[in-house]
C-alpha cells in the first residue's frame, strides 16, 4: 500500500499528492509547512503554476 501526503498551494487549492519522503524534504528545507496532521497535509510557501493530475480515492469498508 502506498502512502501519500496531500499538498496545498499558497491559495489552499489542492495539488497532486506527494510521497512522504518528498514532503519531509520540503518541510526540512522550509519550503512547506504542516497545514493539518490528520489527514497529513502540507501547504507550500511558494506559488506554483501547476494543474493537478486527476486523483482517485478508494475507501474499503
C-alpha span between 26 and 45 (Å, rounded) = 10
C-alpha span between 13 and 25 (Å, rounded) = 21
pTM: 0.78
The pLDDT assigned to 54 comes to: 75
**HSE (side-chain half, CA atoms, 13 Å) at 13:** 9
Q: Is there a domain that residue 25 lies in?
A: yes
Q: Is there a domain that residue 36 lies in?
A: yes
Which domain covers residue 34, as residue numbers?
5-44
Q: Which residue has the higher pLDDT, 57 or 14?
A: 14
Count structural domains, the chain: 1
Q: Over the stretch 1-55, which tens digit does the pLDDT of each residue have?
A: 468 999 999 999 888 899 999 999 999 999 999 999 999 999 999 988 767 777 7
Amino acid at each position: 500500500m502506498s502512502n501519500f501526503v496531500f499538498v496545498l498551494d499558497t491559495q489552499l487549492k489542492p495539488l497532486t499528492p506527494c510521497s512522504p519522503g518528498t514532503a519531509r524534504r520540503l518541510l526540512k528545507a522550509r519550503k512547506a509547512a504542516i497545514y493539518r496532521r490528520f489527514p497529513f497535509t502540507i501547504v507550500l510557501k511558494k506559488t506554483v503554476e501547476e494543474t493537478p493530475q486527476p486523483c482517485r480515492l478508494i475507501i474499503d469498508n
